[in-house]
Amino acid sequence: MYLRLSTAALALLGSAICTMADEVNVYSYRQPELIQPLADGFTADTGIAVNIAFVDKGMAERLIAEGKRSPADLVMTVDISRLMELVDAGVTQPVESAVLKENIPANLRASDDEWFGLTSRARIVYASKERVKDGEVTTYEDLADPKWKGRICSRSGTHPYNVALLGAMIAHHGEAEAKTWAEGLKANLARKPAGSDRDQVKAIWAGECDIAIGNTYYMGQMVNDPEQKEWADSVRIVFPVFEGDGTHMNVSGVAMTKAAPNKDAALKFMEWLSEDHAQKIYAETNYEFPVKLGVPRSALVESWGAFTPDSLNLTDVAKERPAALRIMEEVNFDG
């Protein structure tokens, strides 16, 4: 069962979702269509129903207000920034699981077991096949070079995906250099930040800019959308790196709520999501990178080429979230 609910409507969720032992209740930042195959697969394998409420904002505030009465067992998010927002709000609890620790690499889960990455994705550059030469984009730092003036498109600088990227820049180079980079990147924008990552690719196709920052999995979504395939065909994926390191990575992840009325069933779902079956569904359906070693990427994702992931632990990136958001506001990135 999937619900897209406003904050006010979520107040009724306690009566709408039962808290029986044979089901799991999830608050999710992820779009319902991305989770449907996983929920169905888990129910088919275990007989445990998964009830998901899509919450597009205010999840931490909602959980705080609900307190011990919350029906939510798990929270699922689309990036490390939102995971840490929930952890910092004190609405999650650590989970002890040998299965999760075995399946998920240490750099993609919290050292205190408060959150776990389920898939990873790279924050890459989409480059025009016509107007950008091979090898012309190499590093994130290079995006602030004046040679790109008027040639870059980006979604909002305060969006969690870009906040995480800037957080990684801070972790690598310090706040002062990261702010200079953010100023340079803004100076190179072809237009004010707006829309989603796919909208930036559409802008390249339309000739409004030459390169854009985006997540890898959007390419898979565009290629398989008749309306958007032409946009996808106009660009190629480039894996830039931080100077001296690798390509910025982020995760979709899960954490158990502090209230968790169905804790045992919720833990089963968490563990199931880290196993081969679910990881293959993520790979084939969502075009993301499996976190469990040995689970292959989809053929489409594999065709994008090999790259070296950044060595930073995501916990270190998440620590810089407040500073990154402050810098984006100080440079008026979206202005």
pLDDT at position 30 is 83
pLDDT at position 7 is 46
**DSSP bridge pairs for 289:** 120
Q: Yes or no: say if 286 and 217 are a contact pair by the CB < 8 Å rule.
A: yes
pLDDT at position 21 is 52
- Residue with structure tokens 């269509």? 33
Q: Which domains does the chain have, with CATH numbers?
A: 2-120+250-296 (3.40.190.10), 121-248+308-330 (3.40.190.10)
Rounded distance, CA 128 to CA 174, Å?
Answer: 31
3-state SS assignment for residue 63: helix
For residue 272, what are its two tokens? 């199931």
pLDDT digit of tens for each residue in the chain (335 aa)? 444 444 444 444 444 444 445 899 999 998 777 788 899 999 999 999 999 999 988 999 999 999 999 999 999 998 898 899 999 999 999 999 999 999 999 989 999 999 999 999 999 999 999 999 999 999 999 999 999 999 999 999 999 999 999 999 999 999 999 999 999 999 999 999 999 999 999 999 999 999 999 999 999 999 999 999 999 999 999 999 999 999 999 999 999 999 999 999 999 999 999 999 999 999 998 899 999 999 999 999 999 999 999 999 898 998 999 999 999 999 999 99
Beta strand 74-77 with 23-28 is: parallel
Q: Tell me the CA distances in angstroms from 334 to 57, 157, 168, one per residue in order.
A: 20, 6, 20
Rounded distance, CA 80 to CA 227, Å?
Answer: 31
